[in-house]
Chains A and B, each alone.
Chain A
């Protein structure tokens, strides 16, 4: 009898658990459309209340690789400690794919032993100390891309010249776009956003050069490309339709394997929250000091 009673309650419990789980899983580090649109009008202040929500976009490299074969809690802890040690030495700002950065590194072969490069971040990937980002610029009509390790101790400074997001996660299509979309002057001035504003999304749509292309951009469902249709033939459109995988967005298991569960995330952010907050505060202090000293000579 007892068993008979217990069984339906178990069902309800498991269903409830599943529901909770589903909600939790939505806290992935992947950018989601629905959530973004909900969050933006609320502004930054409100998002601070749950650090997991805030930090997973700002510091995506603090979340480990979700592959269970490579996970180990102690290694992840050591790795995070090392990352924070490095962050205490150099200010690694918040930036996204699409932001324009200036990176200064020590280079034994360069004149003056330092090298500064300005470019748009077209990719950001890797977990932990392996985190890296790629900058792209066009110098003397020649496209240049440099990949930097985020925690490389030869990096002297990372400066965000323009903080913004783009419509896509990766901007590799800039390689096939007209050069003006990835040309940035090396003496660009940093654009300072007023405090408390959300990170703006640049909705510019780039124009691609005619074929041949490096990749089949038409199959990647890119939002940041304007003229993709005019370069396609009928054959390409048919192939694109055949290659579509519309069921993948309903694949819960795939989503699950790509993300870190929220229980792990709260643990991780709880561990690094204090130190990250201190670093952020010290950065704000530095930031407030700066405008008093620097813009005056420019005006003069």
Chain B
């Protein structure tokens, strides 16, 4: 009898426990499964004082240098592969690049017009891993837009090699499993299976050509909590003429009657910036092959100087690639010209622009 009572008590108590959280789930609503992609690992590490002797420190430093040197000495896996086995078609998707925004300055065209350009530096990009479409099982989000999820593979690209001791062990594990050193930035590109690249392939700025159009994805400048004038461009109210206490305020935010409430989507003050935005169809005007710098037309690329952005071939139908680009990517070579210029751009070392008299 006592054991029976005990059982009842246990079951009731277990029902009361906090661990069990009821999830709302019915025919109309199924909560999305939030789970990170299987290659995602936390990167930030809490640094701690290790109390090492100077000799041990030197030893660790030596090992780091050895690893870095062996990484640098690695030959591109593409060097011995015949590139012409696979053909590029307008429907294939290539890899992209991870670049850093380093500033803007003007270039002049051959007919004397001034163009503002943004400089993007492609730093130390390597292919980390390829996940074929059958194995790739992306995280489910609220927006379901994975129409091509069965056909595209996932290619992980990393940029900027970092000291392995500055990141977590789990994050290092992603790179260790393929024999690479950890990278500061890791990004996923969806690619067609025939444009997959082997691990360790270096990517350069010459992956794109001058005159091509690319899409740039980056985080916009974080402006914090902003009022309605800065965030949405409202005009505010007059500075004088009897206006008191409402100079930068939004004014009316809704009507009465049936609509006596604030409508969803009303433009109001709030956090501005620090969002992922894609600028599509940006033209490449100039490429430096030594420092891997791309000069992009315009100053609309999101983010401040030093922001990281992701580049890939544009999806705009009229600006899409028409001629076959370097496929699957441009191999490493030392005999490239230092700079490529778009045909409309005037190189600074050329002679002064003169217009012929007709």
What residues make up the interface of A, taking CB atoms closer than 8 Å to B? 69-72, 74-76, 78-79, 82-83, 85-86, 88-90, 106-108, 112-113, 128-130, 149, 151-156
Contact A69 B304 (CB under 8 A): yes
| Size band of the interface chain B makes with A | 20 to 34
B306 sits at the interface (CB 8 A): yes
Out of A78, A90, A149, name the residue touching B352 (CB < 8 Å): A90
Out of B103, B111, B348, B351, name the residue touching A82 (CB < 8 Å): B348
What are the 3 A-B residue pairs with the smallest beta carbon separation, nearest first? A75-B103, A85-B348, A85-B349
Per-residue interface assignment for chain B, residues 336 to 350, with 1 indicating a CB less than 8 Å from any chain A CB and 0 otherwise: 000000000011111
B327 sits at the interface (CB 8 A): no
Main secondary structure of the interface of B (DSSP, over half): loop
Most buried by A among B106, B121, B288: B106
Contact B349 A88 (CB under 8 A): yes
Can you list 24 A-B pairs, Cβ within 8 angstroms, ordered by A? A69-B304, A70-B103, A72-B102, A72-B103, A75-B119, A78-B288, A78-B291, A79-B105, A82-B348, A85-B348, A88-B349, A89-B348, A89-B352, A106-B112, A106-B354, A106-B355, A107-B355, A113-B355, A129-B106, A153-B112, A153-B350, A154-B112, A154-B352, A155-B352
Contact B352 A156 (CB under 8 A): yes
Bound complex: CA A71 to CA B305 (Å): 8
Q: Which of B308-358 contact A (CB under 8 A)?
A: 346-357
Give the Cβ gap from A86 to chain B, nearest Cβ, in Å: 5
B108 sits at the interface (CB 8 A): yes
Contact B353 A75 (CB under 8 A): no
Out of A76, A83, A89, A155, name the residue touching B351 (CB < 8 Å): A89
Out of B111, B293, B357, name the residue touching A112 (CB < 8 Å): B357
- Which residue of chain A has its CB nearest to the CB of B116? A130
B114 sits at the interface (CB 8 A): yes
By a CB distance below 8 angstroms, the chain A residues around B350 are 89, 153
By a CB distance below 8 angstroms, the chain B residues around A72 are 102-103, 305-306
Bound complex: CA A266 to CA B106 (Å): 26
- Which residue of chain A has its CB nearest to the CB of B113? A154
Bound complex: CA A83 to CA B350 (Å): 12
Contact B108 A130 (CB under 8 A): no
- Which residue of chain B has its CB nearest to the CB of A152? B108
Contact A153 B352 (CB under 8 A): yes
- Which residue of chain B has its CB nearest to the CB of A65? B103
Contact A108 B112 (CB under 8 A): yes
Bound complex: CA A107 to CA B346 (Å): 16
- Contacts beyond the supplied A106-B112, A149-B114: 16 A-B pairs with Cβ under 8 Å: A70-B103, A75-B103, A78-B119, A83-B348, A85-B347, A85-B349, A89-B348, A89-B350, A89-B351, A106-B352, A112-B357, A152-B114, A153-B352, A154-B352, A154-B353, A156-B354
Contact A108 B346 (CB under 8 A): no
Q: Which of B93-143 contact A (CB under 8 A)?
A: 102-103, 105-106, 108, 111-112, 114, 119, 121
Most buried by A among B346, B350, B355, B357: B355
Bound complex: CA A283 to CA B356 (Å): 28
By a CB distance below 8 angstroms, the chain A residues around B119 are 75, 78
By a CB distance below 8 angstroms, the chain B residues around A151 are 348
- Which residue of chain B has its CB nearest to the CB of A87? B348
Contact A153 B353 (CB under 8 A): yes
Give the Cβ gap from A129 to chain B, nearest Cβ, in Å: 5
Give the Cβ gap from B118 to chain A, nearest Cβ, in Å: 10
Bound complex: CA A82 to CA B114 (Å): 15
